[in-house]
Structure 1
Amino acid sequence: MRKVAVVTPGSFVIPSVRSSSVERVIEQVVPLARHELDIRIYGTIGKGLPLKSELHGVPCIRLPSGSYLQSLVRNLKMWGPDVIEVNNRPLAVQKLKAKMPGVKVVLNLHSNTFIRPPYLRQIQLQTALEQADGLIVNSRYLKEFVESGFRGERPQILINPLGVKLEDFSPRHTPASEAIRAARLERLGLLGKKIILFVGRLMPEKGVHHLIAAMPDILAEHPDTHLLVIGSAGYSSDRETAYVKKLKSAARPLKSWITFLSYIPFPSLALWYTMADLVVVPSSTREAFGLVNVEAMAAAVPVVAARSGGIPEVIEEGVSGFLVPPESLPEGLVQPITRLLGDEELRCRLGTAGRESCRQQFRWDLTAQRWADFMQHI
């Protein structure tokens, strides 16, 4: 079988309950392709984890974070892969091509965060892409973003949407889910409330401040509503940034209607989607895909999201949710949210359609098959 080395960014240990979505995607996708490819995952050393182990049947090699790239090259030369996949670190493409010129190197971009200032200048991105043998992105939006500033011969590009494992999510409107939901809400003192859920990092780009700003108008129509905000500023800690403090200050007059919960790791997070009547994703134009969207859909919960980035490729307007022009935030959130809160049949219909969309389009096994095919033929 073709030998493929999957290189994580080196920011977080893998596996981890507190890592970025990059590591989570690797954990979900790569093991599903192990019967078609000879794969090894390379990451950083983590407390309590051995230097070598297996991740769902795939060898995982952990290297010192302080000398990550040097140790990586040494290990790769000993193994001799046919393809190296670099995740979210364009500058590493050039370095690996220089050290291992006969090996195919593929860049997998999960967002546009690290391909723009202050992380990367346009000329640096172009040089990295010229060196890459292939490029993987998770949305048409991200592909177009990369191509918009690129001059020269483009590498082969795969658009590979992300997914979910449907078995991890209980559909919202079933007797079993309703019973679990009622019990959990009673423990929180929220039984009988309509629940709006926000899940994500507490950073300006995720737009939770827009949702908090819209809450007074939402409560004017539906005073029995409660907003649950799940997340923290970073993956590795719950330290409060200036932005988080500002959010909590803005929410203080509505403290009876807004609850902040710290980072909840997956798969425990799946249970919280079942508690929601709707999920709101008011992200900025930089959102390349947004796993929260498909996770909500997998739980058969309708989504109200900003019409930005790659989100319109996931949420179908009026079918699995509603899309709000980003320039209309926060006011634009009020009408679709209040409409959904007042119409249980509509919530059920959109939620059911969203889960079916996941079944047809957004599953990890589909993502893995596209990835494996690309690695086979690059």
Structure 2
Amino acid sequence: MRIAVVNNFFPPRVGGSAHMAASLAQRYAAAGHDVLVLTAAYQGARVTESHDGYRIVRLPAVTMPKLGLSIDFDLSFPSLVPGTRRRIFRLLHEFQPDVLHLHGQFFDLSWLSGLYARRHGIPVLLTVHTLLVSERIGYALAFRLLDACLVRPILKRVNPRFAVLDKPGRDYCVRRYRVEDRELEFLPIAVDTRPFDRPARGGIRAEHAIGNDPLIVSLGHVIPLRDRIPLVEAMPEILARYPRTRVLVVGKVYHDAFVERAEDLGVRHAFLVRGAVPRNDVPAYLAAADIVTHDLNGGCGTASLEAMLSGTPTIVSIGEDHYPGVDLRDGDNMLLVPPDDPDAVASAVIGLLDDPVRAAAIGRRQGELVRRTFALDVVAGQYLRILEKMVAADVLGR
């Protein structure tokens, strides 16, 4: 097959969607398929390059100013550069794809590529990574209007098959885009296990002068959707029991309300804000932790699954039915708390610190779960089978 992979986000930009798109592109190429990646330009990365057997084209883009929205981090839009539509259409025409795999339903590269595919009768699979939601009434209304007035009409024209990562993604597509279950595929987040197959480097605790103190690593970008507030608000109770506990925040900080909240509660001294680190260093930070948590506002993304893969017990705020067909058991192969519940976070953290043997056992079972269900090879195989079926059905339908 000739597969076009399209995502506004792609390495060297970091983030779950970017790395998942890159990992799947590499696996598609390794399986013998021709792969073209279309993405937005990012911080001096080469305009075109070949990598891991596939070609990448980065299109000039306008980076939007920070507006404080829930999805507000390095948003770049190539369509704001004159001539982008013509260039995308030309690149796809030259490549002659059999199928398009789009990532992200509300980004312009997905829209433009999808419209090209619809015009030329090419099947499209769209992976929905992020949901436009907010607890703030104004933002929630704006997001609903955006979905209703812009995203849904475009998706109706593109007519993709939807790949959803979890139950909330399925419910969102049904509710916001009027998608029927027969148009959906459940495909879990793909996690590259290779970085965790070799020993992680040591020295993280020494670098940050943590010593043997209890350490919580909070991994991932800090944005309003993952604001760390529940963890901050859990810290007074945690510190009352384990006063030397430290929290190491690893990831770029786009939204720093958690720092102000920590100061208000008198727990700022417990937080070390490391910022973004090279991706190759992530296993070392996870290995240094006693506990990992950052998905406390509802969800379980790539960073949390990587933490689980590392064998470090990881707390997330989802339900046992979050991944259809996946057997999640709280306290056994998962550590689950309700979204935005500081008391539950404090109880979970203290329980793990009280019983290191239980914590290690849960961490081990979490790692086994990720390797069995979310490993890149497993998920990429599922994607390829679906893409092949879509291409075969398209050929038969002509």
> TM-score w.r.t. structure 2 length?
0.80
AA aligned opposite 2:58: R
**Corresponding position of 1:212:** 232
Give the aligned CA root-mean-square deviation in angstroms.
2.9
Aligned pairs for 1:1-378 (under 5 A) are 2-9=1-8, 12=9, 14-16=10-12, 18-34=13-29, 35-46=31-42, 48-65=44-61, 66-67=81-82, 68-90=84-106, 92=108, 95-96=112-113, 98-99=115-116, 100-113=119-132, 118=142, 120-130=146-156, 131-151=158-178, 156-169=183-196, 181=202, 183-234=203-254, 241=255, 243=257, 246-247=260-261, 249-250=263-264, 253-285=266-298, 287=299, 289-307=300-318, 316-326=329-339, 329-378=341-390
1:143-185 Cα distance to aligned partner (Å, 9 max, x none) = 12211244476663221111323331269xxxx76xx55x431
Contact 1:51–1:62 (CA under 8 A) maintained in structure 2: yes
**Match of 1:121, SS?**
helix
Question: Which segments of 5 or more consecutive residues in structure 1 lack a partner in the other structure?
Answer: 235-240
Cα distance 1:59–1:230, how it changes in 2: closer, same or farther (>3 A)?
Answer: same
Does structure 1 conserve the Cα–Cα contact (< 8 Å) formed by 2:229 and 2:258? Answer: no
Structure 1 Cα separation of the partners of residues 303 and 344 of structure 2: 20
Q: CA 1:55/1:304 → structure 2, altered by over 3 Å: closer, same or farther?
A: same
Helix, strand or coil: the match of 1:223? coil
Aligned to 2:74: none
Q: Which amino acid aligns with 1:28?
A: S
Matched residues in 2 for 1:333 and 1:83: separation? 44
Aligned residues: 356
Shift in Å, 1:47: 5.1
The answer as to whether partners of 1:40 and 1:60 remain within 8 angstroms in 2 is: yes
Identity %: 19
Once residues 187 and 334 of structure 1 are traced to their aligned partners in structure 2, the CA distance between those partners, rounded to angstroms, is 26
In structure 2, how many angstroms separate the alpha carbons of the residues matched to 1:293 and 1:50?
30
Determine if contact 2:167/2:323 at 8 Å carries over to the other structure.
no
C-alpha distance in structure 2 between counterparts of 1:150 and 1:358, whole Å: 30
Structure 2 Cα separation of the partners of residues 48 and 76 of structure 1:
24
Q: In the alignment, which residue of structure 2 is the partner of 1:238?
A: none
Gaps of 5+ in 2: 62-80, 135-139, 391-398
Looking at structure 1, the residues matched to 179 and 217 of structure 2 have their Cα atoms a distance apart, in angstroms, of: 44
Moved over 6 A (4+): none
Q: Deviations over 1:274-323 (max 9, x none)?
A: 011111234324x3x41122111111011222236986677631113321
Shift of 1:215: 0.8
| SS of corresponding position for 2:280 | coil
Contact 2:204–2:284 (8 Å) recurs in 1: no
**1:82 Cα deviation (Å)?**
1.8
CA displacement 1:82-109 (0-9 Å, x = unmatched):
2122221347566445543322222221
Q: In structure 1, how many angstroms separate the alpha carbons of the residues matched to 2:256 and 2:15?
A: 21
CA deviations over 1:189-217 (Å, ceiling 9, x no partner): 21111111111222232141111111111
